[in-house]
Amino acid sequence: MARRETLQSGPGSRALVVDIVRSSGPISRVELVEATGLTQPAISNIVRGLITDGVIRETGATVATGAKPRVLLAINSSVAYGVGLHVGMDAVTCAVTNTRGGIVGRQLAGLEGGTSREPPISQLAELCHRTIDMLGLPAGSIAGVTVAGRGPADVQHGLLPSLQASQPGSPASLRTELEQRLSLPVLVAANADAAAVGEFWVRQVSRERTFGCLYLGTELSAGLVLDGALFRGASSNAGQIGHVPMSPDGPPCPCGNRGCVNLYVTPAAVVNQAWGDSELVARMGLRPDETTARTFDILARAAILGDREARALLDVSAVGLADSALTLVNLWDIDTLVLAGPGFAVAGSLYVQEIRRRLAASAFARSIHAVRVDLSNNPRDSVAIGGAALVLQGSVAPGHGPLVAQSVHSR
């Protein structure tokens, strides 16, 4: 059960009710009054509006209390669908989810132009159209689309510079261009922000949790969900833990600093170290024409199966990442941490073990509370799923993030 909150301290009465119904499962109106601190008439009006809009529904089940049975409420999973487009290390993933985070469709496409990580906007639009058409969803049921990729993300202007910087004739706004091509609302987000919202939403995490998500892909970054809402900072670029200097005298980082965490813990860092061991390269059959993501998966699988040299490389990455997790936990007093992203897809268990060990031994508040550390159930698709959740959250529970135009509750 979520903690009592007043309207002034929550993200908005409608968003507050939706979030508690989402995280608590079937719940009665009386329990909503107790959880929110709102009056019975206020809850009745909010619930009536949410039922009318199709966001929540009465389950048909009741709870006997000795008086009038209490009717239970739940999220209506089919009221709307969200689409998430994730531009990853070597592919674009499109995922469509319902309002409970269930995947209803997914397609994967290799990046046009190889591994430049800068797909043409036309490819994103075509993949989105193809996925929606394949599913045959009702007209008007798509709440919107989120495009996620490497930060920084300019949410205000709808830009992801990492996806557009070198494209000839690139439009001023990725959001504007895609909205024109798709005739749908479009949001942009950095990888970790999308992954954090997705894990929070799909896992039905209570808003009373201080929730963190570490994303490992091209870079290491973090997303935070506080009181049910994504913590964005001044420009929606919070959580760049991969750009914290780890070694002041280390090699230069593209961000302008030296010795950043990203240079030591990411898949690219592990692969670069592997190329320096000719015996390991020969034994693993590593090829320079393979993508970094594929080569890292080969090394991660070998580490899991007991190869000493591969395991040593992964251990260096895991220890450095555990240091970053400790920093994040100590800064925000996090009690729930999820690991997401393709970097955790094969050897995620190694990272989970090292982070759990480090937090149990060194977290500042360890004598007061433990930190739960889990691996995403779908690390490779966590950003695409999270992108879909992000646009759905902004549509059915406005107040948590950017307002989604033409949202489901206004149709």
How many Å apart are CA 292 and CA 183, to the nearest integer? Answer: 35
Together in a domain, 232 and 183 = no
Compute how many other C-beta atoms are within 10 angstroms of the C-beta atom of residue 193.
Answer: 34
Strands 220-226 and 211-216 turn out to be antiparallel
Which residues, 6 or more positions from 54, have their beta carbon under 8 angstroms from its beta carbon? 76, 79, 408
**Model confidence at 288: pLDDT above 80:** yes
Tokens matching residue 246: 């780890």
Together in a domain, 45 and 137 = no
Together in a domain, 227 and 370 = yes
How many Å apart are CA 167 and CA 156, to the nearest integer? Answer: 21
Query: What b-and-e string marks burial along 160-177, b requiring 16 or more CB atoms within 10 Å of the CB?
Result: bebbbeeeeebeebbbeb
Tokens matching residue 299: 């090394």
How many Å apart are CA 379 and CA 372, to the nearest integer? Answer: 17
| Residues found in the chain | 411
Top-confidence residue, 399 or 58: 58
Together in a domain, 314 and 367 = yes
Together in a domain, 265 and 141 = no
Q: Report the pLDDT value the prediction gives residue 100, as an integer from 0 to 100.
A: 86
Q: Report the pLDDT value the prediction gives residue 207, as an integer from 0 to 100.
A: 85
**Model confidence at 284: pLDDT above 70:** yes
In a domain, 2, yes or no: no
Together in a domain, 271 and 363 = yes
Domain ranges, residue 71: 13-75
CATH number at residue 28: 1.10.10.10
Residues 204 and 22: beta-carbon distance below 8 Å: yes
pLDDT tens-digit series, residues 70-121: 889 998 888 899 999 998 878 899 999 998 888 999 999 887 655 444 567 8
In the block, which residue shows the tokens 């990725």? 174
Q: Report the pLDDT value the prediction gives residue 23, as an integer from 0 to 100.
A: 84
In a domain, 200, yes or no: no
Together in a domain, 147 and 276 = no
Together in a domain, 367 and 260 = yes
**Model confidence at 6: pLDDT above 50:** no
CB-neighbour burial class of residue 403 (10 A; exposed 0-12, middle 13-18, buried 19+): exposed
Q: Report the pLDDT value the prediction gives residue 164, as an integer from 0 to 100.
A: 58
Together in a domain, 247 and 326 = yes
Together in a domain, 92 and 190 = yes
The pTM score is: 0.87
**Model confidence at 399: pLDDT above 80:** no
Together in a domain, 70 and 89 = no
Together in a domain, 218 and 301 = yes
pLDDT tens-digit series, residues 145-201: 999 988 888 888 888 877 755 444 444 588 888 999 999 999 999 999 999 999 998
In a domain, 213, yes or no: yes
In degrees, to the nearest 5, what angle opens at C-alpha 391 toward C-alphas 46 and 133?
Answer: 115
Which residues, 6 or more positions from 236, have their beta carbon under 8 angstroms from its beta carbon? 153, 155, 156, 189, 190, 193
How many Å apart are CA 16 and CA 158, to the nearest integer? Answer: 27
Q: Mean pLDDT check: name the lowest of 210-224, 364-378, 391-405.
A: 391-405
pLDDT confidence of 411, banded at 50, 70, 90? very low
Compute how many other C-beta atoms are within 10 angstroms of the C-beta atom of residue 3.
Answer: 13
In a domain, 3, yes or no: no
Domain count, the chain: 3
Which residues, 6 or more positions from 283, have their beta carbon under 8 angstroms from its beta carbon? 307
In a domain, 8, yes or no: no
CATH number at residue 169: 3.30.420.40
**Model confidence at 11: pLDDT above 50:** no
In a domain, 257, yes or no: yes
In a domain, 184, yes or no: yes
